[in-house]
Amino acid sequence: MRRYVLGPTALAALALMIVTPAPAAQAHGGSQPIPDAAFYRTDLTGVAPQPDGVTVRVDPGGEWIELTNAGPAEVIVLGYTREPYLRVSATSVEENELSETTILNQSLFTDSIPTGQDSGGVIPTWRQIAATGTVRWHDHRIHWMGQNRPPAVKADPRHAHPVGTWTVHATIGGQPFEINGDLRWIGKPASAEANKPIPSWLLILLETVGLLVAFAIVPLLGKAASAAAGRRRQRLPSRGTT
């Protein structure tokens, strides 16, 4: 029966596979998610005044807001500083590449957003992103922004609490309208509090320890493999004439 001995390179690769943790999955641009994100709910309360042909939906988890324009007039969704952000017709969606909102909305969470400020009158640079009358985007105005809980939630996380209201401003045919909604906390059970995720610093520490162990083991495995190969060669009968 044949016996196969792993060489030092193969053993080293095997050791790295065993002791090195797999990289953690990242989402939404790699920003650190809010630990309690699953316990907030976003509700759409209305569009006022309601434009003809315009419908709006929101994700209950606050990840996206969706607007459809089936009417003849053009909709401009305004950004955090009231700058033109999205331009929506019945057949096209365009994004303003110079909008600060365009950059901020590439991440699911951020520490703060500018609000109620004049954008400075910069002329928009429009780029078409869809050939349809529907656009869905992430908007920081419709979800909780901070890593820390609101005061009422911090004081009593087990029960539901209203957190606040939100508004996204827009125009249609040059006439303003508002998309309004509520943000609420649904309550977090004690069992969920007990199962908190592993802190990122601990994951980094564990990964570092794993790499150090790997670098310590690999040379030892290489030496062991070389020694085993040497003993195997010594056991092989020498070829000679009979």
Per residue in 205-227, pLDDT (tens digit) is: 677 777 776 667 767 666 766 77
Instruction: Of 14-18, 105-109, 164-168, 226-230, give the lowest mean pLDDT range.
Output: 14-18
This prediction's pTM: 0.64
Whether 128 and 186 map to the same domain: the answer is: yes
pLDDT bracket for residue 18 (50, 70, 90): very low
Whether 94 and 175 map to the same domain: the answer is: yes
Residue 190 has pLDDT above 70, yes or no: yes
Residue 21 has pLDDT above 50, yes or no: no
Whether residue 83 is contained in a domain is answered as yes
Please give the order of strands across the beta sheet that includes 65-69.
54-58, 65-69, 134-137
Residue 87 has pLDDT above 70, yes or no: yes
pLDDT bracket for residue 6 (50, 70, 90): very low
Whether residue 240 is contained in a domain is answered as no
- Give the pLDDT mean for 227-240: 64
Triad 14, 15, 18: Cα angle to 5°: 90
Whether 7 and 82 map to the same domain: the answer is: no
Domain extent for 178: 36-194
What's the number of domains the chain is made of?
Answer: 2
Whether 126 and 86 map to the same domain: the answer is: yes
Interatomic CA distance for residues 99 and 80, integer angstroms: 9
